[in-house]
Amino acid sequence: MLDWNQVIKYANNGSPAPEKRVEKSENEWKELLTAEQFQIARLKGTERAGSGAFCERHEPGLYGCICCGSVLFDARTKFESGSGWPSFTKPVADNAIKYVKDTSWGMTRVEVLCNACDAHLGHVFPDGPAPSGLRFCINSASMQLIEEDQQKATAVFGGGCFWCTEAVFQQLKGVNQVVSGYAGGHIKNPTYREICSGRTGHAEVIEVSYNPNEIGYKDLLKIFFSAHDPTTLNRQGYDQGTQYRSIILTRDEDENQVAKQVREEMQDYFDDPIVTEIKTLEHFYPAEADHQNFYNDNPGQPYCNVIINPKLQKLRSMFSSFLKEEISDL
């Protein structure tokens, strides 16, 4: 879970790579935005406390960037902070927001921007409610309310090297985003070097953001079990260590029961016992930027050709009806 320590880490070392980038000239932004929106979102202005359109609104929906439309916050994480600005406990995804150290006005703060287009949103502070302890203080003029017609859920799996699992799940229709990271361990904010030591207890995992109207959790689990060998303990191929273990991290009891049911059903397809661990998700920590979108950014790497490509070929053969249209046409 995103917390203040992770925010500081992003502000000092760089934020996770965005799902997309949107770049326009100053004149192009002026044509798209009102004068107030341009002043706040592009010139880092601040609206007067209590004057924003979204201060007193709490209807369901998603809040998107006023400039590029990227989804930033879910209304379910909005709370009344008494600050005079709309406040949220967390973004829809860690890489939806860019975190920047701000030393203006004689203070040290963390500015938050849209990670896709660098629109100024506001600031984040460590005085919010549990469990994140964060308060994202956002200008109304930097946001637009999007009707909740694009339902979103998340699932967390680990099946060996996250470069492989990320590439597989990026191919599926209904999957909006895949973030590689670490979970299941006992220290906060682990680094890749630390988890490779095997001493942190974390596994390499992916967080899959998906639309349950297009693909269900049970379908994702079946593809997960088919995309790796769930019968080898702490190993996938040549990758060995507890960080490569097969694991499903569930967010509630319903997911836990579904995961156990599918694990039992999938046993019929394997001669050896499935050793996939199922446990409650406590924290998901996104991996470093160079581990995100690895296959798409490095298709010529030998690892991609030798290890990942066969997995994608198997996916296309077994689950063609679940592939995104642009993938199935390849």
Point out the residues that are catalytic: 137, 161
Q: Tokens at residue 92, please?
A: 């829809």
- Of 137, 166, 143, 159, give the one whose Cα is nearest residue 78: 137
What is the DSSP pairing of strand 135-138 with strand 239-240? unpaired
Q: What is the 3-state secondary structure (H, E, C) of the chain?
A: CCCHHHHHHHHHHCCCCCCCCCCCCHHHHHHHCCHHHHHHHCCCCCCCCCCCCCCCCCCCCEEEECCCCCEEEEHHHEECCCCCCCEECCCCCHHHEEEEEECHHHCCEEEEEECCCCCEEEEEECCCCCCCCCEEEECHHHEEEECCCCCCEEEEEEECCHHHHHHHHCCECCEEEEEEEEECCCCCCCCHHHHHCCCCCCEEEEEEEECCCCCCHHHHHHHHHHCCCCCCCCEECCEECHHHCEEEEECCHHHHHHHHHHHHHHHHHCCCCCCCEEEECCCEEECCHHHCCHHHHCCCCHHHHHHHHHHHHHHHHHCHHHECHHHHCC
- Of 40, 112, 110, 32, give the one whose Cα is nearest residue 72: 112
